[in-house]
Amino acid sequence: MSILTQTLQLAFKIAFVWAAGFLIAVAVRAGLPDKMGITLFGGRSAIFVPFSRLGFWTCMLAALTVTCMVVIQAMLVDIGFRP
C-alpha cells in the first residue's frame, strides 16, 4: 500500500470520527434539558453545570481520544511496529 493511500485512509478515519463526534455532541446538547445538571461547590462559590454541556464535551473528548489513538497507531506502523 502506498504512503498516499495510507495518508488518505488516516485522513478519512479522523474526519469520520470528528463528524460523528460533532453529530452525537449536538444531539446530546439538543436532547438534554439546560435546567438539569450538577452543582460544583467551591470554597466561596458554586458553579452549575448542565448535563447538556457535560454530554457535549464528553463527545468532543471521545473524538479527540480516538483521533490520538488513530494517529499513534499510524505512527507505530510507519516506524515498523506491527501489532
CB 56 within 8 A of CB 22: no
Q: Mean pLDDT for the chain?
A: 81
How confident is the model at residue 18, as a pLDDT?
A: 83
How confident is the model at residue 56, as a pLDDT?
A: 76
- Whether 83 has a pLDDT exceeding 70, the answer reads no
Domain boundaries, the chain: 3-78
43: number of Cβ within 10 Å: 4
The grid coordinates listed for 48 are 452549575
Query: Does the predicted TM-score (pTM) go above 0.85?
Result: no
Question: What length is written for the chain?
Answer: 83
- Whether 6 has a pLDDT exceeding 80, the answer reads no
In tens, the pLDDT along 42-70 reads 888 998 888 877 777 887 888 888 888 88
**DSSP letter, residue 21:** H
Q: Which three-class secondary structure state does DSSP give residue 77?
A: helix
Intra-chain end-to-end CA distance of the chain, in Å = 17
Element (H, E) at 39: strand 37-41
